[in-house]
Structure 1
Amino acid sequence: MTSYLPRRSFAIAFFCLAGSVATPSLSWAHFPWLASNDDGRAVMWFGESTADRVYPMPAKVQAIELNSDGAKHPVATKSVDGDDLVGIQSTMPINSHAELSGSVTYGLYHGTKLTYHVEHLPQTDPTQWPSEPRSDAPMQTVVIADGKGGVEVKVLADGEPLADTEVKLYCEEGHQEAARNTDAAGLVSFTASEVESGLNAIVVGVTKSDVKGELDGEPYSSTTDYLTATFSIGKSDKNDSASKGSAAAPAKPKVDSNSGVSVGPTGLAELPEELTSFGAAIAGNRLFVYGGHTGDAHSYSTEEQSNRLWSLDLSQGDSAKWQELASGPRLQGLALVAHGDRVVRIGGFSAVNDLGDDHELHSQTSVASYDPATNQWSDLASLPEPRSSLDAAVIGDKVYVFGGWKLDGDSDTSEWLQTAYCLDLSNPSAKWQATAQPPFKRRATSVAAFDGKLYVIGGMRPEGGPTTRVDIYDPKSDSWSDGPSIPGAGMSGFGSSSFASGGNLYCSTMDGFVHRLDPSGKGWTTVAKCQRARFFHRMLPRQENELLMVGGANMQIGKFTVIDAVTLTSKE
């Protein structure tokens, strides 16, 4: 058994590189954020926003050295893993009159050296903020109150102004309030209507593509630096829950100790290859796995996409071995559903570029049915539009497709789709029929059929990043309604997997939790925590009291081949 030690690791931020000095895309990323709590101690977390304070902090980021301006020694810190904060905290109160800062190099990502910088102004009176830059900071800001409730921000790298660089402003609730580029002097201003009372944060990213060197014996050809700088405006009420740094942060899910649900290895043969963003389904007591991504995170090429169909006969138990069956096109971001003894492959995207070349990614319209009796694929009606990063589920003889986007070259030219369709699988000549328009545009969702309805869970939005939102489609009335959001921060909804089993609906999220929809349909109960926290995996019902966790990856650990089981007791 190979357990879950990775051969490849997942990156912790998404960005693009262009030009000799460029601003990386900040559409979604995890950053370290530095602040102070009501006890006067420094706190730092690693999340997608100022509000996302319970995401696991990588060990390399935890090792950051924080310095209080004018102090002789670094600030002593300890790790924290609580319901409202996961990260580090100073062991003693910090100097409330001195700026706090730090830098840490995370490592290499696709040939670039990734470094994080953090700053925090603990002074509650803006007139006490430092007006001069620090002498030894590789990247920093100087924030000056304008006396009208707004601020002027100067951005510097190695002491020099950063011109024409995008600067984003976030409030304590994690919303982006404004974004604009610096002028020739590295200056940008935010107005009183954009700066909110409480904690505010500045985010800046810079990539230099003409810098070469080595890190831990590995070469790099560029550097990428991210800076988050926080400051507070107009915070005076110490009893205000927001001032405690936890009001905007979703509570960390707590497992119901009486759920009777357990998670552990199955003993089944491990996946024959490492896969994410693949299709999987169980049909006729056989587990089928098709396509998927086999390469490094966010590296896409023909060589890194699978065109293989694998099958494992579950009736043979632990003695079963994987069989490679009829192949097809190279795809990832596809859906695979069961219909009788057959499986149906829907959409996905193909990379037509070679390894290391610029990405050339194209969403597909192809739909095909695999017949185990003949070991052959047969084409079904094509999707009305190219679609990938979608999911699908079956009710009766109809398959429903929700979510996704259309890629036509690279992600910068993607079209987020707000359409949904169904296909009658009992009719070989059937065409796709449009459903009521979804009230959302999302990709990387999970879709599950439950109690005659379709649940579209979480995903990524074109604006606002990942979400835990749940939308419910009723085929009988051809209408949409709101469902209860799954527990956790926004990232919990990214690349989840969901399925119904034993009369209940379950959702597995990237933070390792398994949630069950309450009988009332108005909330979720967290019933288990997985040792191997996965996303872009598949959770499938082997039988009424067991769900299989297949494939996927973890940002800190890498890809998994071991198959876990979520065992449901009679209480379920």
Structure 2
Amino acid sequence: MKISKRRQLLALALFIGGTSSASAHFPWLASDSDGHAVMWFGESTDDRTYPMPEAVQQIQLHSTNASAAGKTIDMKPVETKDLVGIQSPQPIPEGDEIAGSVTYGLYHGMKLTYHVEHLPQDDAKAWPSDPRPGAALQTVITSAKNGDIEVQLLRNGQPLPETEVKLFCEDGHEAGTETTNSNGRVSFSSDIIEPGLNSVMAGITDKNAKGELGGEAYSSTADYLTASFRISSDAAQPKKQTESPKVIADSDVSIQPSGLADLPEELTSFGAAFVDGTIYAYGGHTGSAHSYSTEEQSNRLWALDTTDPDAKWETVATGPRLQGLALVAHGDRLIRIGGFAAVNDIGEEHDLRSQPAVASFDPKTKSWTDLPALPEGRSSLDAAVLGDTVYVFGGWRLNGESEDSTWHQTAWSLDLADPDSGWQSVATPPFQRRAISVAAHDGKLFVVGGMRSEGGPTTRVDVYDPSAKTWALGPALPGSGMAGFGSSAFAAGGRLYVTTLDGFVHRLAADGEAWETVAQVEPARFFHRMLPTADDRLVMLGGANMQEGKFTSIDAIQIGDSK
């Protein structure tokens, strides 16, 4: 069966013009149960009966297996009720990977080229970890210890940053979308990886490329890559991590009453920091769940002197009404970052506005000083300080209704020793998430859990190394994806701790490769704050529980010898 070039080019033009990837057809490469290579031309991995253009049928496929290197895999047209495309008459060599490229033609002066890859092995340990030499556009796909899939996108052997990569599962649905970081890498959580054939797709255009094809000139190029890999059912099962965590038997961590005065008001989604023996809490949501208004947002900066056993909370300053903000300590000062303001009254339609404002608070003068604003309004973010630099990750920009929001994939840093230098961009995060927690530990920044722009809540942990300006994937939190929503993270005594929605306290193992579940909090809380008040003690304040409601009591996490 044939398809006109004009019809396919029109479909692809819709894709280039900005519609969903389902608006166009692409080649997909795989292997069948008998080991034959099969390739089809469809909207997704399960669309296998759309006619394949003759130009695409001319693709030359190769195996990276040493015995077959340089040899073209023989492919023949096939048309059945389940598959229309091309197929190898013989099983493919038991190699590392099969791949190929084909130039389709020109469309309005643009040269179109397709690239396909397939990893036939069920065992991810057998996937090649080195790029193929000479490939114009390719991926290196690996499986992390926690079951996440890591993809590096390369163009002419070099990392391709800030490029959208889509993940498709065997039934054809789009499971997720991520944008490559400065190293050309993205990660897809084990929560969304399914058994069977999974595929990633990426496309790039070069509007300055010029040349000739078949005697016709072109002024730009477009390249599209699909790369498929198999996940066995056995391998997929442990990745879900849905079992409830278990506290380790020899844990040296316990939950105790803090002995501190209760918060004077119920708060969630607030900022908190610890400076010179005093706990500070700013802003937050004071109303009922999912009700947002000016009256239900706090504008108070509360302070509690922990060195005085009889101390009570006092309001030391006020400011804008905010929630979903970050508050961090730097030296003897507080730094307030972002958040959103509800500009509607109670009972009115929600009108929520993310704010870019940043300010420093001096406890001695009890006054705020404006610092350079964030480049964009941002809320549901978090931040941490490393040395003299504060880093901001995650969040979104609300501009009215919550549905009218922009998820941020930018990250920023500010040198607090020289704030006039302004906010500097950080290497593009390989995620879009909000309701995260951020902590500084061992010279790096840990971005924990949160809600994804697509795919719901996650336990994923991303780690930013500011010295190398690179991102890496850390071990995911134990438990289901929901456990990572509205967590709180902080380092104490040289170790990193996270408290989660399901009521567990997790500690990063000394080698950084896994989490230890060291305590359980009852009742659990989320959208709270956890702060270290000593090397062997953290406190949890504020937050809520889905069954119990909001908290004013303060619990302590007492740490033994954890080194």
TM-score range, shorter chain: 0.5 to 0.7
Report the AA paired with residue 260 of structure 2. Answer: L
Structure 2 match to 1:305: 297
Inter-partner Cα distance in structure 2 for 1:401 and 1:360: 24
Q: C-alpha distance in 2, partners of 1:248/1:552?
A: 27
Deviation for aligned residue 1:249: 5.6
Partner Cα distance (2:321, 2:412) in 1: 23
- 2:417 is aligned to 426
CA distance in 1, matches of 2:240, 2:246: 18
**What is the aligned counterpart of 2:464 among 447, 462, 473?**
473
Deviation of the 1:459 alpha carbon: 0.4
Q: How do 1:86-97 residues align onto structure 2 when only pairs under 5 Å count?
A: none
Q: Deviations over 1:321-347 (max 9, x none)?
A: 111011000000000000111111000
- Write the deviation string for residues 32-55 of structure 1: whole angstroms up to 9, x where unpaired: xxxxxxxxxxxxxxxxxxxxxxxx
Given that residues 172 and 248 in structure 1 are in contact (C-alpha distance below 8 angstroms), is that contact kept between their aligned partners in structure 2? no
Q: Does 1:371 align with 2:357?
A: no
Does structure 2 conserve the Cα–Cα contact (< 8 Å) formed by 1:242 and 1:248? no
Deviation at 1:532, TM superposition (A): 2.5
Aligned CA distance change for structure 1 residues 248 and 540 (closer, same or farther; 3 Å): closer
Q: How many Å separate the matches in 2 of 1:172 and 1:333?
A: 38
Residue number among 260, 281, 304 corresponding to 2:273 in the alignment: 281
Corresponding residue of 1:65: none
SS class of match (2:378)? coil
Aligned partner of 1:348 among 333, 339, 356:
339
SS of the aligned residue for 1:401 comes to strand
Question: Residues 241, 431 of structure 1: CA spacing in aligned structure 2 closer, same or farther, 3 A cutoff?
Answer: closer
Q: For the residues of structure 1 that align with 2:348 and 2:384, how far apart are their CA atoms?
A: 35
Q: CA deviation at 1:397?
A: 0.6
- What's the offset of the Cα at 1:571? 3.6
Determine which structure has greater relative contact order: mean sequence separation of CA pairs < 8 Å that are 6+ residues apart, divided by chain length: 1
Match of 1:504 in 2: 495
How far does residue 448 in structure 1 lie from its aligned partner after superposition? 0.2
Counterpart of 1:353, as a letter, is N
Rounded Cα–Cα distance in structure 2 between residues aligned with 1:241 and 1:400 = 40
1:94-113 correspondence runs (5 A): none
| Alignment-derived partner of residue 248 in structure 2 | 256
Give the match's secondary structure for 2:433: coil
CA contact (8 A) 2:240 2:480 kept: no
Partners of 2:261 and 2:311 within 8 A in 1: yes
Match for residue 307 of structure 2 among 307, 315, 318: 315
Tell me how far 1:507 sits from its aligned partner: 0.4
How far does residue 430 in structure 1 lie from its aligned partner after superposition?
Answer: 2.9
- How far is the alpha carbon of 1:242 from its aligned partner? 11
Paired with 2:195 and 2:562, the residues of 1 have a C-alpha distance of: 48
In the other structure, the counterpart of 1:92 is none
Match of 2:528 in 1: 537
Cα distance in 2 for residues equivalent to 1:177 and 1:422 = 31
Judged with a 3 Å threshold, the aligned counterparts in structure 2 of structure 1 residues 176 and 534 are, in CA distance, closer, same or farther, namely farther
- Residues 162-212 of structure 1: per-residue CA shift (max 9 Å, x gap): xxxxxxxxx999x9889xxxxxxxxxxxxxxxxx999xxxxxxxxxxxxxx
| TM-score computed with the length of structure 1 as normaliser | 0.57
SS at match of 1:492: helix
Q: Show the counterpart of 1:386.
A: 377
2:404 pairs with one of 398, 401, 413: 413
Asked if structure 2 preserves the Cα contact closer than 8 Å seen for 1:241 and 1:247, the reply is: no
Cα distance in 2 for partners of 1:553, 1:462 equals: 23
TM-score, normalised to structure 2, is 0.58
Instruction: Indicate if the aligned counterparts of 1:387 and 1:406 stay in contact, CA closer than 8 A.
Output: yes
Give 2:538's aligned residue: 547
Partners in 1 of 2:532 and 2:281 — Cα distance? 14
Query: Deviation digits for residues 441-492 of structure 1, max 9, x if unmatched?
Result: 0000000000000000000011100000000001101111110001000001
- SS for the counterpart of 1:535 is coil
The answer to whether structure 1 residue 521 and structure 2 residue 512 are counterparts is: yes
Query: What is the alpha-carbon distance in structure 1 between the residues aligned to residue 338 and residue 562 of structure 2?
Result: 38
* Residues 1:457 and 1:197: Cα distance change in structure 2 (over 3 Å): closer
2:394 touches 2:408 (CA, 8 Å); kept in 1? yes
What displacement does 1:551 show? Answer: 0.4
The answer (yes or no) to whether the contact 1:495–1:509 under 8 Å persists in 2 is: yes
Q: Structure 1: which 5+ runs fail to align?
A: 1-170, 179-195, 199-239
Runs of 4 or more consecutive aligned structure 1 residues displaced over 4 Å after TM superposition:
175-178, 240-243, 245-249
Aligned to 2:77: none
The residue identity in structure 2 corresponding to 1:395 is L
- Summarize the alignment of residues 203-242 of structure 1 with structure 2, pairs less than 5 Å apart: none
The CA distance in 1 between the partners of 2:255 and 2:174, in whole Å, is 38
Q: Give distance in 2, aligned partners of 1:197 and 1:426.
A: 50
| Matching of residues 476-487 of structure 1 within 5 Å | 476-487=467-478
In 2: Cα distance, 1:334 partner to 1:247 partner: 32
Query: Structure 2: how far apart are the matches of 1:491 and 1:341?
Result: 36
Q: 1:337 to 1:242 in 2, by over 3 A?
A: closer
**1:462 aligns to what?**
453
Q: How many residues align?
A: 342
Letter matched to residue 369 of structure 1: S
Letter in 1 for 2:385: V
Give the aligned residue type for 2:252.
G
1:255 and 1:383 mapped to 2: Cα distance?
Answer: 40
How far apart are the structure 1 equivalents of 2:322 and 2:239? 42
Residue aligning to 1:231: none
Structure 2 stretches lacking a partner, 5+ long:
1-168, 177-193, 197-232
What residue in structure 2 maps to residue 56 of structure 1?
none
Corresponding residue for 2:426? Answer: 435
Q: For 2:175 and 2:463, how far apart are their aligned partners in 1?
A: 30
Aligned match for 2:484, one of 484, 493, 497:
493
- Verify the 8 A CA contact 1:363 1:408 in the aligned structure 2: yes
SS at match of 2:427: coil
Supply the distance in 1 between the matched residues of 2:506 and 2:264 (Cα, whole angstroms): 28
Tell which structure's C-alpha radius of gyration is larger: 2
Query: Separation in 2 of the partners of 1:242 and 1:544?
Result: 40
What SS does the aligned partner of 2:438 have? strand
Counterpart mapping for 1:174-193 below 5 A: none
The match for 1:453 among 444, 467, 478 is 444
- 8 Å CA contact retained: 1:545, 1:567: yes
